[in-house]
Chains A and B, each alone.
Chain A
Amino acid sequence: MKLGVLFSGGKDSVFACWRAREKNDIACLITVVSQNADSYMFHTPNIRCTRLQAEAMEIPLLSWPTRGIKELELEDLMGSMAAARDQYGIQGVVTGAIESVYQAVRVQRICRCLDLWCFNPLWQINQIDYLRQLLSDGFRVIISGVYAYPFEASWLGKELTEERIQSLARLQEKYRINPSGEGGELETFVLDGPLFKRKIEILKASQSYANYRGNFVIEEMRLVEK
């Protein structure tokens, strides 16, 4: 089946893409670029960097703008999926949703309207096991945003490691956070993975942080051989 992957550049959409690739043809990645930093549906800090990830994976990218106004952005999401269907002939859409009923329901409804299949291959996955699987499967993931107590600035730009997974497990126990960040606590960006023909090297980045909210913004990067 020809599929399009809703693609933010974070670990969940990259991993979902990898799983979907097992037995399907990924015809395109679909990135909805929101102008609203607090978008309910779409990840934002390094969303424009998905173009280099798509190049690294050698998969076409369909980039679609949205103003990021709650609920209206769903019309933009539908527009992007319809464009992917028309331009790339996709029969279904893949998402990286894990627990978010809010996101999953909205994508399911749009797929139904457009007569597309909807796949959520990370749905209800155990989050700590999943983070460990990312490492064992060769994904390199950095923390590109923190948006909740008790995440400090020291998390920004750091790579996901077994030690950090253990820290996330402790924070889950103590503060009831989602260790994968799906509740909006964290955002991530993938530098390398099993689908990457080349890996991403960050040349220049900046960060901002205040009151347990911060972004790690990639300003310059390049593809290098693996």
Chain B
Amino acid sequence: MICRILLADLCDKKNSLSRYEFVNPIREILERSGFPCKICHYTEVTDNVLASYDKMILCGTALKDNAYMGQIDAFYWLKDLNKPTLGICAGMQVISAFFGGSIVQQPAIGLNRIEIIRSSPLLGKPRQIEGYHLHNFGATLPEGFLRLAGRNESPEAFQRCTLPVYGIMFHPEVRNRWILERFASL
């Protein structure tokens, strides 16, 4: 059966100009790899909407777009979500905040070295890769989460215990498309 993926658009408004930059590229990469996607603004995601999909990706936002931070309760469906889930940048911050972590100041713009320190189905074996960062904030590691990459207070990637719920701070649509394809194949 073909896996269907729901892309949560975390931008401040539905159908914003930023969706072309932070949501559409994810859809294009996945659909070209054979995984049908649907985009839904995060304020419109419900348990009923999620029921029709096999996986979920929470996409990133523009550098100045922090509206999602004041709407963490809107992500109530994360609590019982038992499907593979990937939070990218803002999406990782939301997952962290929802499960008891914190969103912290950590600006980064550009390509940086990322140290993968723990093996996982998403990122593979420990090694160094280069990733594209675009954020003013990072996220701390919530209790019960495993650090997959990065050694700072706010990790580059994490996983919720052994569940397939992941967060990555860098944008895989730039130079790391394999991460999206790997997630879709989990």
Contact = CB atoms under 8 A, between A and B. Distances in A.
A204 interface: no
Interface in A9-30: 19-20, 22-24
B28 interface: yes
Contact of A24 (B17, B29, B110): B17
Interface of A: 19-20, 22-24, 92, 94, 101, 105, 108-109, 111-112, 115-126
Contact of A112 (B21, B109, B132): B109
Interface in B3-30: 15-18, 20-21, 24-25, 28-29
What is the interface residue range for chain B against chain A? 20 to 34
A105 B110 contact: yes
B19 to A, nearest CB: 9
8 nearest interchain CB pairs? Answer: A124-B25, A121-B20, A123-B21, A105-B110, A117-B64, A120-B21, A119-B17, A108-B109
Interface in B116-144: 132, 134, 136
Contact of A108 (B15, B24, B63, B174): B63
Contacts of A118: 62-64
A123 B20 contact: yes
B18 A124 contact: no
A101 B21 contact: no
Name the residue in A111, A118, A124 with the highest tally of chain B Cβ atoms < 10 Å from its Cβ: A124
B81 interface: no
9 contacts: A19-B20, A24-B17, A108-B134, A112-B107, A119-B62, A120-B21, A124-B173, A125-B25, A126-B32
Contact of A23 (B15, B111, B175): B15
Contacts of B16: 23
Interface string B134-177: 10100000000000000000000000000000000000011100
Interface string B61-93: 011110000000000000000000000000000
Nearest to A1: B17
Contacts, number: 64
Contacts of B20: 19, 119-123, 125
Contacts of B62: 117-119
B17 A22 contact: yes
A5 to B, nearest CB: 11
Contacts of A92: 64
B18 A111 contact: no
Given A108-B134, A126-B28, A121 B21 contact: yes
Contact of B132 (A22, A101, A109): A101
B61 to A, nearest CB: 11
Contacts of A20: 17
Nearest to A129: B28
A121 B173 contact: no
Contacts of B15: 23
Nearest to A120: B21
Nearest to A105: B110
Contacts of A24: 17
B134 A119 contact: no
A140 B27 CA distance: 28
Contacts of B134: 108
Contacts of B32: 126
A118 to B, nearest CB: 6
A166 to B, nearest CB: 19
A105 B28 CA distance: 22
A71 to B, nearest CB: 14
A209 B136 CA distance: 46
A4 B16 CA distance: 16
